[in-house]
Amino acid sequence: MSGSVRASQTPSSPAEHWHGLLRPDVELAPAFWAELNARMRAEKLTFGDRVHCPFLRPFFLSTQDENRVREVAELIAELGERVVARALADPALLAQVGLSREEERLARISPRYKTASTASRLDAFLLPNSLQFAEYNAESPAGPGYAETLAGVFRTLPIMERFAEHYTVRQFSLIEQLLAALLASYREWGGTASPPVIAIVDWREVPTWSEFEILQARFEKAGVPTVVCTPSDLVFDSTKLMANGRRIDLVYRRVLINDILARPAECEALVKAYEAGAACVANALTCKIAHKKAFFAVLTDERNSSLFSANEREVIRRHIPWTRLLEDAKTTRDGESFGILDYVRKRRNDFVLKPNDEYGGTGVTLGWEMDDQAWDDALQRALSDRDSKWVVQQRIAVRREVFPVRTPNGIEMRDMLVDFAPYLFRGRMAGCLTRLSSTGLANVTSGGGQVPSFVVDPR
């Protein structure tokens, strides 16, 4: 074993206590990892070919932590719904989020119910003295099935029983709450089938297909018939939407709007059924407005202050980083007017550059990890990108913790970045996804790992 894992006489945190319970001949032995790895594979906890969690400790948060995250996260989700509704009625506001013409066309199709984001997720950094959010994934984010299943695996480990002698331990019921939110959106849409038939829809080649199988099994156990299919499996005859010979009442849309636009022929039945009101689709295509990274620019731009109450503006100031679409234009900050491009060019160490609409960390550039010339080149490339818009965002404080991680050389204690991502189902926080990374980006797509999360308090 590389690194030291020893018990402290007086553990100062749940993490330290857990580390002290790791036994060299049990949890730190190769046989334990082999068994845990096999269990994760059996539970479909794979992203492509690799298991989600190479770590031997969960992430712990207190009830107090949970409550302060919930308060802010639910407000941001509420503001997301408000901005969607206002932007559809105000072309000037809609322009601020940078939708393409085709994205706007889809967003203007009425979903026949009000809720844009049945399921959404925020990316946050939770520290003892701060809580800041990096972005809002308002478009059917992946992971709730994985997160709950992984927590279930860790909950049954013998070390957890010993840990629970000193701490109360609570895990999140994400799948049950996701299903309840989907059914609530179906009822809001006007659906009367009881239960409705759900189709979980995405491409067969996505690495998260195993999660769809987890969700399908749980939905059906709850009495809701569910099929997993691709967009091209859907058939629409102008009155009803079918998949694999079954009529579909409710689409849990995991296929992204970007892919709907990139592969229109394969997604034609889905879009036409949505437009005709033949099936409820969640998330609605209107969610793209809040999903854009520039949604945070809308929140932090002083010209939109009238959209928010004084209390909401204060929450935005404290918890949302200053964000702008990158353009050679003027803006204001704290009453001062200046050019956006010149402002961020001179403040490389304070800014991150992101595509307005990507996932998995694609294209994200951290100014503080490059020199002035490289930063200037990155800004110029983004500014000249004719196919997509980019945003610049204020650097925020991140959380780092030491975790035991399985490596080819054994168990090592490594300092990891902790991305805490609360899920919101119809605007209510239901739990979280927690990802770790040794780099400045924390996401499974770009090579990060996942750990289960538990709410713990001393007994």
Q: Per-residue pLDDT tens for 247-277?
A: 999 999 999 999 999 999 999 999 999 999 9
- What is the model's pLDDT at position 11? 59
- What is the model's pLDDT at position 447? 47
As a whole number of angstroms, the distance between CA 315 and CA 334 comes to 16
The alpha helices in 165-309, defined as continuous H runs, are 174-189, 209-221, 257-262, 268-276, 288-291, 295-300
As a whole number of angstroms, the distance between CA 67 and CA 271 comes to 38
Residue 419 clears pLDDT 90, i.e. is over it = yes
Residue 7 clears pLDDT 70, i.e. is over it = no
Q: State mean pLDDT over 216-243.
A: 98
CA dihedral of 295, 375, 364, 316, whole degrees rounded to 10: -30
Helical (H) or strand (E) element with 227: strand 226-229
Angle between helices 174-189 and 209-221 (to 10 degrees): 80
As a whole number of angstroms, the distance between CA 250 and CA 118 comes to 12
More confident residue, 18 or 46: 18
Q: State mean pLDDT over 348-365.
A: 88
As a whole number of angstroms, the distance between CA 220 and CA 179 comes to 10
Question: Tell me, what amino acid is at 431?
Answer: G
Q: What's the full length of the chain, in residues? A: 459
Give residues with Cβ within 8 angstroms of 361, minimum separation 6.
441, 443, 445, 446
- Measured CA to CA in angstroms, residue 121 lies from 308, 433, 441 at distances of 21, 9, 17
Question: Which band of pLDDT confidence, cut at 50, 70 and 90, is reported for residue 46?
Answer: confident
- What is the model's pLDDT at position 378? 96
- What is the model's pLDDT at position 441? 57
Residue 9 clears pLDDT 70, i.e. is over it = no
Do the Cβ atoms of 154 and 224 come closer than 8 Å? no
- What is the model's pLDDT at position 156? 96
Question: Tell me, what amino acid is at 216?
Answer: Q
Q: Tokens at residue 95, please?
A: 């322009």
Question: Which band of pLDDT confidence, cut at 50, 70 and 90, is reported for residue 448?
Answer: low
Residue 174 clears pLDDT 90, i.e. is over it = yes
As a whole number of angstroms, the distance between CA 136 and CA 79 comes to 11
Digit-coded pLDDT (tens) for 292-327: 999 999 999 999 999 999 999 999 999 999 999 999
Helical (H) or strand (E) element with 153: helix 144-155
CB-neighbour burial class of residue 17 (10 A; exposed 0-12, middle 13-18, buried 19+)? buried
Domain 322-394 classified CATH 1.10.760?
no
Question: Which band of pLDDT confidence, cut at 50, 70 and 90, is reported for residue 52?
Answer: confident
Q: Considering the chain, what is the average pLDDT of its residues?
A: 94
Q: State mean pLDDT over 133-139.
A: 96
352 Rama class: left (phi>0) / alpha (psi -120 to 50) / beta: beta
Q: State mean pLDDT over 232-252.
A: 97
- Find the distance separating the first CA and the last CA of the chain, reported in whole Å: 32
Question: Which band of pLDDT confidence, cut at 50, 70 and 90, is reported for residue 50?
Answer: confident
Residue 438 clears pLDDT 90, i.e. is over it = no
Question: Which band of pLDDT confidence, cut at 50, 70 and 90, is reported for residue 103?
Answer: very high
Digit-coded pLDDT (tens) for 179-193: 999 999 999 999 999
- What is the model's pLDDT at position 446? 42
Residue 459 clears pLDDT 90, i.e. is over it = yes
Other CB atoms closer than 10 Å to residue 228's CB: what's the count? 21
Which is nearest to 53 in space by CA: 403, 454, 451? Answer: 451
Do the Cβ atoms of 411 and 57 come closer than 8 Å? no
Whose tokens are 């749980």? That residue is 218
Residue 15 clears pLDDT 90, i.e. is over it = yes
Minimum mean pLDDT range among 56-60, 197-201, 237-241, 405-409: 405-409
Residue 33 clears pLDDT 80, i.e. is over it = yes
